[in-house]
A and B are shown apart, each in its own frame.
Chain A
Amino acid sequence: MPKRDDIKKIMVVGSGPIVIGQAAEFDYSGSQACKALREEGYQVVLVNSNPATIQTDSEIADIIYLEPLEPEIVAKIIAREKPDGFIGTMGGQTGLNLTAQLADMGVFEEHGVEVLGTGVETIKRAEDRELFAELMKEIHEPIPESCAVNSVDEAIEAAERIGYPVIIRPAYTLGGTGGGVAHSEEELRSIAQRGLSASMVGQVLIEKSLLGWYEYEYEVMRDSADNCITVCNMENIDPMGIHTGESIVVAPAQTLSDEDHQRLRSAALKIIRALRIEGGCNIQFAVNPETWEYYVIEVNPRVSRSSALASKATGYPIAKIAAKIAVGLTLDEIPNDVTKETPASFEPALDYVVVKIPRWPFDKFPEADKRIGTQMKSTGEVMAIGRSFEEALQKAIRSLDIKRYGICCDGREYETKREVIEEELRNPTDRRIFYIYDALRIGMSVQEINRLTRISPFFIEKLRNILEVERSLAGRSIEEVSQEELTRAKRLGFSDAQLARMLGCEELEVRKARRAPVYKMVDTCAAEFEAKTPYYYSAYDAVDEVKTSERRKVLVIGGGPIRIAQGIEFDYCCVHAVVALREAGIEAILVNNNPETVSTDYDTSDRLYFEPITLEDVLNIIEKERPYGVIVQFGGQTPLNLAVPLAKLGVKLLGTRSEDIDRAEDRELFTQVLRRLGIPQAPYGTATSVEEAKQIARRIGYPVLVRPSYVLGGRAMEIVYDEAQLERYMRLAIEVSEAHPVLVDKFLEDAIEVDVDAVSDGEDVFIGGIMEHIEQAGVHSGDSACVLPPQSLPRDVLGRIKEYTVRIAQELNVVGLLNIQYAVKDGKVYVLEANPRASRTVPYVSKAIGVPLAKLATKVMLGEKLRDLGYVGERKIRHVAVKEAVFPFLKLPGVDPVLGPEMKSTGEVMGIDYDFGKAYYKAQLAAGNRLPTGGRIFISVARRDREAILPVAGKLHELGFELLATDGTKACLESAGIPAKLVRKVSEPRPNILDVMLRREVDLIINTPTAGKVPFTDGFYIRRHAVDLGIPYITTAAAARAACMAIESVLKGEISIRSVSEYHRGHVHELRLEDFSGR
């Protein structure tokens, strides 16, 4: 069927901020969809609240709304734009929910909008448990039974019907406690009893247990003519019981015979047909390894993280094809981009193995439970491609950027205690794969490991192959190892670093001794057809396939997996660098290993290398390609760590020189820079012992901010208020990084923090934005909300900030991006740090001011001058853009949702409007914190915040809110003449505040933590409850003040709904070329 010509304008919605379980894959999918639709001549309206996305770039969609993905807001946009079609399946669960809500509200009907591709009925049938169960029954596909019960007797009855073993899940508990697996009635009795009492609502879910069953996924596509294909199947190495997002996954499935595979494939096609999906769909199966009985576990009627992985694993662009299907094209009418000659109606054939490993945030949440299970906790993932499983696995491990160079022989300490290993195998954490290796090392058998982990012996045997190489090489010298042995080791994925350690030599010696890898192409067809797509991975094989060119080329090093402090923002910057390079006629080569992102889409760069980002792997590419220069400053800390080693080996880095980067990053050197410039800095000292730290603290005065040197994202950073606290911290911090000293800074209490993003060409400076933080200093800049332009800073302070920025940029010879953090206290401006690289606020600033900073920086790094490009000075805007951080607390039970110097957020949103209050309101809404405009607000603040909270409380009372407070706060409010209703504390008898929350008799919680990290206070339970119940909450006085302004503003005037270009319209000519570079 040809594409539809009765529709012209299509709205696509994104997935909003990056959260655990919903990351960059939806930017990739959405961007691909937008491009595909525009390619077919449709006008695309894109709505997303996440500024750090490529899809919200003006090159990707025609009309862009950076607005909250809330039904009432999107409904307004629909009323305004009147699109003909709507696609919600590119926006993850957010997009699906939005589609269903808008349909229920009658918005589509009212405005004559057609939901394209997978329709509302299908979404409901796949998402609604009962409807789905019914449909599966109709087509004879088995699904595991489950049943909600309210008593032990009911539980037993249900279990008998379902069949043991069963899983018991309490319906609502603090921290998911009280569940378990029962194999008999006796076990069920005790677990159900425990579960029922742990449940706040006295209910448990009884489910058929499939723990330990093998888990497979199928990525399936269907078009309107009912043609179906499977793009890829994947096997979860970690069997059932561990969320597929938490599993190590291999593609294609390794342990299925053709008969097995066809059975699941046929079932998958049957399901997608029964659901009448038009587009892509992900279907998960659980298979009993003994009997081969299977169950359908989950169906996602949309593109997903798995579909992004499948796309990158096969070269088949699922989202793009799904978008084309949505406008009526059939699979046989859509060409396969990779071969150009064959159609999309085929099934990719792989001639390599793909391994995905999740990246967990436990380094940021030491208090979080590190066990992995049915709850997704990982923030991102890496993918590696190899010609053997072992190779792909070891490459994936070193892609994780967790200081591992493979599964063994890289300095990691092996566990040798059998009890510890057995426990780790049985109750897995993020480290299970390493413990399996250690188990083999101490002589545990494959059967035993299989018994404890239920992982297929196939994979355990593969680890044994690696162990065999370790045993055959360790302790020998590089001279006596044959070329054949080296090649064998490389074919099993051993890195030079591992080999060097085993053979007692330097990494570069191994490099000299071994052959270079060859690069093979990912082509969807196992070389059956000639491929046009430049997408490569390394292998230790005979023939290389890369056709390098003689053109001028630049290598951009990507950021690797998404984790806290290194998010999608850096991928965004890398993509912009690539685009700028290509626009400048330079060949752009990109290396990265994150399967979710736009940067690893095969048509982003001229050549894509899907490889780990380590010195060895990057050098291999450099030797192959011989680029004119390498860009390390856009991908965050991972590529930046390679700056010095690469520069030492004579690789030309574009932009700021590595010596200058060092002058900014090294504390001592940076202090010298500031002294020379006469720019103030908070007093600090560097300590190598606890005693020294105490002396420094006494000298500069408490409170102090302590942290190990050289970290990104405020890792292991803490504000301490007295010596006892300092001592406790030092014990922990020194464990964190013993080689590095600890920095002790004077903490500027109640200072306003300011972030500046600028581009410098070494002479002139363009200030992208001066961002005023909402939360006070002490909250990590990545976690603080901030606003552009600054709302409270006086003109002279702003002038000084600009002046300092320019002088620091010039002193450090910055060529490219520069981020400087300042603290303003009592009118004085202090420099906190300067980073001559992309910061995570670059996309936000770029979107707020309408200037793509990363692109601009790339041009400058290629030698262009800001003056010639027309960007000197500062961009002024008339609207207000607020950035708010988004946190993973909901997914991390037991973690206190408070802000501090350690970065905890996974993503961000932007709210944009014509005044601060409304912009802040939108940002909160987009971040999932719906500020109430009436109702009841509970206030309970730490003693030191009482003074600050009074005017806020007064205002809220004036605005008609009823205030609730515990006795201390109540007394304080009443003494200021603000009436409040008493509510009992958590530690007091029920009904107390928790019951009020549970009954949802409160619309907003304002609760600030008491100083220090005291676990399990009343406040902790209140905040945790707010997270778990989804009640809006605020944990700082500053945010409460901003929220109050927001509420007042939306009560007094309507929020505006404008596209990004409408906000920018009229500002373009106001770009002031005022030069204050001081020359």
Chain B
Amino acid sequence: MKATLVLEDGTVVEGRGFGAEAEVYGEVVFCTSMTGYQEALTDPSYAGQILLLTYPLVGNYGINSEDYESSRIQVEGFVVREACDKPSHRSAEATVHEFLKREGIPGISEVDTRALTRKIRSYGVMKGALRTSREAIDAQSLLERCRSSPDISELDLVSRVTCERVQHFPGRGPRIAILDLGMKLSIRDSFLRRGCEVYVLPARTPAKEILALEPQGVVVSPGPGDPKAVPYAIETVKKLMGEVPLFGICLGHQLLALASGGETYKLKFGHRGANQPVKDLSTGRVYITSQNHGYAVDAGSLPEDEFRVDKLNLNDSTVEGMRHRSLRIMSVQYHPEANPGPKDSEYLFDEFLEMVGAPSPPL
């Protein structure tokens, strides 16, 4: 199968098609994580994006029944140097190609992914289009369609990925509600593993309904796209602040900033990988974190009497975490639930449970 990837700046790359025969549009982003492609493909935060992996060998250990972060593939398209068609792992059930094909997602391989990464690094993330086909592909017309496709900031991607109805998971520990804006299953599981009772709530669940469940803590989950594209969620967060302990993760962290009058902005090419160093300013400790975001909180915009930035990215000094000065609110820009990535920040779940006043028993 043939495949062509175009970028809005006119870049045309031809390669080998795999997965489904299709044409898709999205923001082209790169991730430097060397493992965890299944988790990334199914991470709802990648909705609206064509994902490029910088590590050249993808699919080595196949696709298994466990490493799902949601029930389906969330990326629009997939760009790799080499897609492994003979995986080897005790739990491999399918190849990456089979997985993408089953889910109707196109992929392109045998392309110079490093050159594309360098381009995105230099010019910033761009709109792109990926077409796979058995027929010849007209790159010019694909490029035109790419350019006329909507920008990611114009889309309410959260509505596409949130759950449809309330889900309840019993547990003997504290009751935690997760506002699902594109939640990764690992976040839910992190609380379940700690014995919590968990509610997963659709993105448009009003604050009143959330509070009616009498949760001991509410998690505002990660999710795709521009935080400003989900004003309803900002409203919900505003109303929850002060009513119940809050833990914002990734998009949730950005929404907390917006809800308290702060600002967010788009990063040139985002942070996507499993090796981002974050310094906890209160302890001086450095953590290697898993990240996946294209927007960041503007530190200077935060109301000084409300939030204190307590974690910074050591690569570019962007805000990685905040604490409310008086309320029980904490947030991080990165992924303590890992999957993929290091588990070094798992302790944040314990910190949150401590904050809600119900420390979890040791795991």
User: How far does the alpha carbon of A528 sit from the alpha carbon of B61 in the complex, in Å?
Assistant: 25
For residue B340, CB closer than 8 A to chain A, the reply is yes
B308 at the interface (CB under 8 A from A): no
Whether A331 is near chain B, meaning CB under 8 Å from some CB there, is yes
Instruction: Given A346-B315, A352-B56, A526-B117, verify A292-B90 contact (CB < 8 Å).
Output: yes
Contact A530 B64 (CB under 8 A): no
Q: Is the CB of A332 within 8 A of B279?
A: yes
Residues on the A chain within 8 Å of B90, using CB: 289-290, 292
Residues 252-272 of chain B, each 1 if its beta carbon lies under 8 Å from chain A, else 0: 000000000000000000000
The answer to whether B56 and A388 have CB atoms under 8 Å apart is yes
Tell which of B91, B285, B341 touches A226, judged by Cβ atoms closer than 8 Å.
B285
Contact A543 B112 (CB under 8 A): yes
> Does B104 reach chain A (CB closer than 8 Å)?
no
Other-chain residue from A254, A290, A349, A464 in contact with B60 (beta carbon distance below 8 A): A254
**How large, as a class, is the contact surface on chain A?**
35 or more
Is A257 positioned at the interface, with any CB of B under 8 Å from its CB? yes
Pick from B39, B57, B81, B114: contact of A258, CB under 8 Å:
B39
A162 within 8 A of B: no
Interface residues of A in 244-281 (CB under 8 A from B): 252, 254-262, 265-266, 269
One digit per residue, 1 when the CB lies within 8 angstroms of any chain A CB and 0 when it does not, for chain B 70-90 equals 000000000001101011111
Picked from B55, B89, B121, the residue with its CB within 8 Å of the CB of A351 is B55
Question: Is the C-beta of B277 less than 8 angstroms from some C-beta in chain A?
Answer: yes
- B66 near A458 with CB under 8 A, answer no
Interface string of B141-171 (1 = CB under 8 A from A): 0000000000000000000000000000000
**Complex interface: chain A residues within 8 A of B359 (CB):** none
Q: Which residues between 100 and 119 of chain B lie within 8 Å of chain A, taking CB atoms?
A: 111-115, 117-118
Q: Which residues in window 152-207 of B have CB below 8 A to A?
A: none
A342 within 8 A of B: yes
A606 within 8 A of B: no
A225 interface residue per 8 A CB criterion:
yes
Instruction: Let me know if A526 and B32 touch, CB within 8 A.
Output: yes
For the complex, give the distance between the alpha carbons of A614 and B61 in Å: 34
Q: Does A343 contact B (CB under 8 A)?
A: yes
Give the docked Cα–Cα distance between A255 and B13 (Å). 29
Q: B298 an interface residue at 8 Å Cβ cutoff? A: no
Is B288 a contact partner of A255 (Cβ separation < 8 A)?
no
Which of B13, B35, B118 touches A261 (beta carbons < 8 Å)? Answer: B35
Cβ-neighbour of A528 out of B55, B84, B117, B343 (below 8 A): B117
Q: How far is the CA of A91 from the CA of B354 in the complex (A)?
A: 46
Instruction: Determine whether the beta carbon of B344 is less than 8 Å from that of A269.
Output: yes
Whether the pair B89, A257 counts as a contact (CB closer than 8 A) is yes
Q: A507-547 interface mask toward B, CB cutoff 8 Å, 1 = contact, 0 = none? A: 00000000000001000011111100000000001110100
Q: How far is the CB of A341 from chain B (nearest CB, A)?
A: 8
* Distance in angstroms between the alpha carbons of A262 and B344 in the assembled complex: 10
Chain A residues whose C-beta falls within 8 Å of the C-beta of B91 in the assembled complex = 257
**Once the chains bind, are A266 and B343 in contact (CB under 8 Å)?**
yes
Interface presence of A958 (CB below 8 A)? no
Q: In chain B, what residue has the closest Cβ to A266?
A: B343
Do B275 and A257 have beta carbons less than 8 Å apart? no
Interface hub of A226, A349, A461, A464 (most chain B Cβ within 10 A): A349
Asked whether, in the complex, the Cβ of B277 is within 8 Å of the Cβ of A349, the reply is no
Neighbouring A residues of B279 by C-beta, 8 Å:
332, 345
Binding site secondary structure of chain B: loop
| Bound Cα distance from A345 to B114, whole angstroms | 23
CB distance from A482 to the nearest CB of B (A): 15
Partner of B86, one of A225, A229, A457, A541: A457
- Interface flags for A329-363 (1: CB within 8 Å of B; 0: not) read 01110000000011101111111110000000000
Q: Specify which chain B residues have a CB less than 8 angstroms from the CB of A781 in the assembled complex.
A: none
Partner of B67, one of A257, A346, A351, A458: A257
Pair B285/A254 contact, Cβ less than 8 Å: no
Give the complex CA separation of A188 and B273 in angstroms. 50
Q: B338 interface residue, CB < 8 Å from A?
A: yes
Whether the Cβ atoms of A343 and B82 lie closer than 8 Å is no
Contact A225 B285 (CB under 8 A): yes
Q: Are B61 and A256 in contact (CB under 8 A)?
A: yes
Indicate which residue in A226, A259, A332 contacts B277 across the interface (CB closer than 8 Å): A332
Contact between chains at A458 and B34 (CB < 8 Å): no
Docked Cα-Cα span, A290 to B88, in Å, equals 12
Residue in A closest to B340 when the chains form the complex, CB atoms? A258
B342 interfacial contact with A, CB 8 Å: yes
Question: Contacts A258-B67, A259-B67, A331-B286: A345 and B314 contacting too (C-beta < 8 A)?
Answer: yes
Determine whether the beta carbon of A255 is less than 8 Å from that of B343. Answer: no
**Cβ-based interface call for A456 (8 A):** yes
B314 contact set on A, CB distance < 8 A = 332, 342-343, 345-346
Cβ of B113 and Cβ of A346 under 8 Å apart?
no
**In the assembled complex, B54 has its CB within 8 A of some CB on chain A:** yes
B54 with A526: CB separation less than 8 A: yes
- The verdict on A389 contacting chain B, using a C-beta distance below 8 Å, is yes
Task: Establish whether residues A461 and B86, one from each chain, have CB atoms under 8 Å apart when the complex forms.
Answer: yes
In the assembled complex, B221 has its CB within 8 A of some CB on chain A: no
B274 touching A351 by the CB < 8 A rule?
A: no
Contacts of B339 in A (CB 8 A): 258-259
In contact, B117 and A345 (Cβ under 8 angstroms) = no
**A968 vs chain B, min Cβ distance (A):** 63
Q: Which residues of B contact A353 (CB under 8 A)?
A: 56-57
Q: Most B CB atoms within 10 A — which of A342, A343, A526?
A: A526
| Contact indicator B33/A349 (Cβ below 8 Å) | yes
Give the Cβ gap from A328 to chain B, nearest Cβ, in Å.
14
Q: Could you mark each residue 389-413 of chain A with 1 if its beta carbon is under 8 Å from any beta carbon of chain B, else 0? A: 1000000000000000000000000
Q: Which among B35, B91, B113, B121 has the highest number of chain A CB atoms within 10 Å? A: B35
Which chain A residue shows the least CB distance to B269?
Answer: A528
Q: Contacts A520-B114, A541-B115 given: A257-B64 contact, CB under 8 Å?
A: yes
Docked Cα-Cα span, A185 to B34, in Å, equals 44
**B288 interface neighbour in A229, A258, A330, A342, Cβ under 8 Å:** A229
A257 touches B56 (CB 8 A): no
Tell me which of B67, B88, B113, B285 contacts A456 (CB under 8 A).
B88
Given contacts A229-B288, A252-B34, A266-B343, contact A345 B277 (CB under 8 A): yes
How many Å from the CB of B291 to the closest CB on chain A?
11
**Does B276 make an interface contact (CB < 8 A)?**
yes
Instruction: Judge whether B36 is part of the interface by a CB distance below 8 angstroms.
Output: yes
B361 within 8 A of A: no
Task: Please tell me if the beta carbons of B87 and A458 are within 8 angstroms of each other in the complex.
Answer: yes
A-contacting residues, B285-302, CB 8 Å: 285-286, 288
Cβ-based interface call for A563 (8 A): no
Q: Give the docked Cα–Cα distance between A292 and B30 (Å).
A: 31
Indicate whether B362 reaches chain A with its CB closer than 8 angstroms.
no
Instruction: Verify B286–A458 contact, CB threshold 8 A.
Output: no
Chain B nearest CB from A541 CB (Å) reads 4
A773, CB-defined interface residue at 8 Å:
no
Taking a contact as CB atoms under 8 Å apart, the answer to whether B57 and A350 are in contact is: no
Residues of A within 8 A of B277 (CB): 332, 342-343, 345-346
Q: Are B56 and A387 in contact (CB under 8 A)?
A: yes
Q: Which residue of A lies closest to B81 (CB)?
A: A387
Would you list which residues of chain A between 890 and 945 have a CB under 8 Å from chain B? none
Contact of A227 with B by CB under 8 A? yes
Most buried by B among A257, A269, A349: A257
A525 to B91 Cα, complex, angstroms: 30
Give the residue among A225, A289, A351 with the most B Cβ atoms within 10 A: A351
A3 to chain B, nearest CB (A): 16
6 other contacts beyond A225-B286, A346-B314, A458-B86, with CB at 8 A cut-off? A261-B35, A341-B315, A353-B56, A458-B87, A528-B54, A541-B114
Give me 20 A-to-B residue pairs in the complex whose CB atoms sit less than 8 angstroms apart, sorted by A's number: A254-B60, A257-B89, A258-B39, A258-B67, A258-B339, A262-B342, A342-B314, A343-B315, A345-B277, A345-B279, A351-B55, A388-B57, A458-B87, A464-B86, A526-B32, A526-B117, A526-B273, A541-B114, A541-B115, A543-B118
Which chain A residues have a beta carbon within 8 Å of chain B's beta carbons? 225-227, 229, 252, 254-262, 265-266, 269, 289-290, 292, 330-332, 341-343, 345-353, 387-389, 456-458, 461, 464, 520, 525-530, 541-543, 545
Nearest first, the 3 A-B pairs at minimum CB distance are: A258-B36, A543-B115, A458-B88
